[in-house]
Amino acid sequence: MAAHDRVIPLTVVAPDAHEDHDQDLYEVRKKIYPRAVTGAFARWRWATVFITQLVFYGAPWLAWNERQAVLFDLAARKFYIFGLVLWPQDFIYLTALLIISAFSLFLFTAVAGRLWCGYACPQTVYTEIFLWIERKIEGKHLARMKLDGASLTARKFFLKAVKHGVWIALAFWTGFTFVGYFTPIKVLSGEFFTFTLGGWEAFWIVFYGFATYGNAGWMREQVCIYMCPYARFQGVMFDRDTLLITYDQTRGEPRGSRSKKADYKSQGLGDCVDCDICVQVCPTGIDIRNGQQYECIGCAACIDGCDQVMDKMGYPRGLIRYSTLNAVDRHFGWRDMLKRVFRPRVLAYTTILWIIIAAASVTLFLRVPFKVDVIRDRTALAREVEGGLIENVYRLQIMNTEEVPRNFMVSASGVRGLRVEGSQQPLAIGPAATQMIAVRLRAEPEAIEKGMHRIEFHVVASDASGNPQPDIFSIREKSMFYKP
């Protein structure tokens, strides 16, 4: 019985399949016409639509020191994010970002189900925008059904043409904005208006635009149901204390229509008036009253829809509400549900998430924007030069990731009397540039034994006349000195 308690009950619904005793493995897709809904949760969704799209469409147009503020220059392998310039060597920060995103998803899903799917996923956001356009042009859901069922008239053709025209324009703008993160968007605009777009630029604008148009205009809930892997694995993260969209069966059943004035309780009816609003508003076409289903993206449209009906009937709100399976079964209040938020898995996710955020922030803050790699010459390990001195040759790969020119001094230590030979110090490097310099180190043969010796290079920032400025950067890199 205890084992049974941990299972999330899925009520099996067998629509009219009882009469014929076989089934299809493929079915004709039924187009869904979700009814528009207003309410608290719909407002939340529109808020995230506005915020995410303001950032997405707006960011490429911002400027920072005469360059685009957010630009991922793949050809030059430099990734500009406002004042920060990331190089391929900083790839670890992308890893950190991905881990943070993953653990945020785990945490939010464990606490409150598919919040990401319902409110912030691009699939949801663009479907919401495309549905809004569809509604403005073709009318409400019933009008759209009627229009699709009618034979082709001039009016129908006109409405469809306008709708697809607006969709394609928006999709194109989306693709254009996307490519604008990789090619400076002002340059891209110029190229577009003079018909000189590069082949790959044109391809990605069309590809990303087509994906937007196809996914938000045509595919819609099919993406969530058949394609999206996150949709499936989020279901595994639910437990009996996860906030889900829940229909209160004990309160609602038995469902049935009734007169508003009638004493429905004496008729043996529950609170559900069987108005079907919750089914009509559902973007994935399910009936939430059948319990948790894998199609449910947690958008809470049915909560908004049901609350309006409850208000009209004069019943308390929340027949469909955010609740946990334990809360429904055991009649928990908010206080009990809140207490159960602090359960081991949530605490574990939270702890890991904060540790990674803290570690990533600290390393980003302490990041030295000047990088040095020492590459030892490998064929000729050492040579003897005038006066019998031992000389080793190294290549120093210097990377100045900041957008200011720098001067720097190179020295080395680890072997008595070790000195840098020949190069004029201080050395100079341009802004956001990389440079390879050959460095010769010399040591007295008497100072060291034969064989390998650990040494360290010091690269220190300096002013133009060679006065060290170690507070800008001071880097140590290990290498080896060889005496044959």
Partner 1 sequence: MSDFTGGFWGISVAVITLVSVVACGVFLKIQSTRRPALEAGEQADLHGNVWDGDLQEYNNPLPRWWMWLFYLTIAFALAYLIYYPGLGSFGGTSAWTSAGEHQAEVAQAEAQYGPLFNQYLKTDIVELARDPKANAIGQRLFLTYCAQCHGSDAGGGVEFPNLRDKDWLYGGDPATIKATIMNGRNGVMPPLGDALGGPQAVKEMANYVRSLSGLKHDAKLAQTAAPKFTICAGCHGADGKGGRAVGAPNLTDTIWLYGNSEDSIVATITAGRGANRLIPGQSAMPAHKDTLGEAKVHLLAAYVYSLGGGEPPLPAPAAEPASAPAAGPVAPAK
Using CB under 8 A as the criterion, which residues of the chain lie in contact with partner 1 when the complex forms?
Answer: 12-15, 17-18, 20-29, 222, 225-226, 294, 377-380, 382-386, 391, 393-395, 422, 436, 438-440
> In Å, what is the CA distance from 289 to each residue of 39, 178, 277?
20, 40, 11
Nearer to partner 1, 16 or 66 (CB): 16
Task: Name 438's bridge partners.
Answer: 395
Nearer to partner 1, 178 or 213 (CB): 213
Residue 130 CA to residue 375 CA, distance in Å, equals 55
Give one DSSP letter per residue of 180-202, joined into a string.
TTTTTHHHHHHHHHTT---HHHH
Say which residues have a Cβ less than 8 Å from residue 299's Cβ, sequence separation at least 6. 41, 45, 117, 118, 119, 124, 283
H or E element at residue 370: strand 370-376
H or E element at residue 138: helix 122-138
Nearer to partner 1, 442 or 453 (CB): 442
Nearer to partner 1, 288 or 319 (CB): 288
Give one DSSP letter per residue of 64-92, joined into a string.
ETTEESEEEETTTTEEEETTEEE-GGGHH
Q: How far is the CB of 440 from partner 1 (least distance, A)?
A: 6
Say which residues have a Cβ less than 8 Å from residue 143's Cβ, sequence separation at least 6. none
Residue 109 CA to residue 101 CA, distance in Å, equals 12
Q: How far is the CB of 301 from partner 1 (least distance, A)?
A: 22
Q: For residues 80 and 63, is the Cβ–Cβ distance under 8 A?
A: no
Nearer to partner 1, 23 or 194 (CB): 23
Q: How far is the CB of 28 from partner 1 (least distance, A)?
A: 5
Nearer to partner 1, 384 or 463 (CB): 384
Nearer to partner 1, 294 or 332 (CB): 294
Return the closest-CA partner of residue 412 out of 334, 329, 479, 335.
479
Nearer to partner 1, 203 or 218 (CB): 218
Nearer to partner 1, 293 or 469 (CB): 293
Question: What is the chain's Cα-based Rg?
Answer: 32
Nearer to partner 1, 18 or 260 (CB): 18
Task: List the alpha helices (DSSP H) in 185-300.
Answer: 185-193, 199-213, 221-222, 229-236, 249-252, 277-280
* Secondary structure (3-state) at 257: coil
Q: How far is the CB of 394 from partner 1 (least distance, A)?
A: 7
Nearer to partner 1, 28 or 154 (CB): 28
* Secondary structure (3-state) at 248: coil
Q: How far is the CB of 454 from partner 1 (least distance, A)?
A: 21
Give the Cα-Cα-Cα angle 32, 246, 106 (nearest 5 degrees): 90
Q: How far is the CB of 220 from partner 1 (least distance, A)?
A: 12
Nearer to partner 1, 148 or 463 (CB): 148
> Exposed (0-12), middle (13-18) or buried (19+): which is 342, by Cβ within 10 Å?
exposed
Q: For residues 458 and 410, is the Cβ–Cβ distance under 8 A?
A: yes
> In Å, what is the CA distance from 124 to each residue of 171, 222, 237, 350?
15, 12, 21, 26
Taking the alpha carbons at both ends of the chain, their separation in whole angstroms is 77
Q: How many CA atoms lie within 13 A of 347 on its CB side?
A: 5
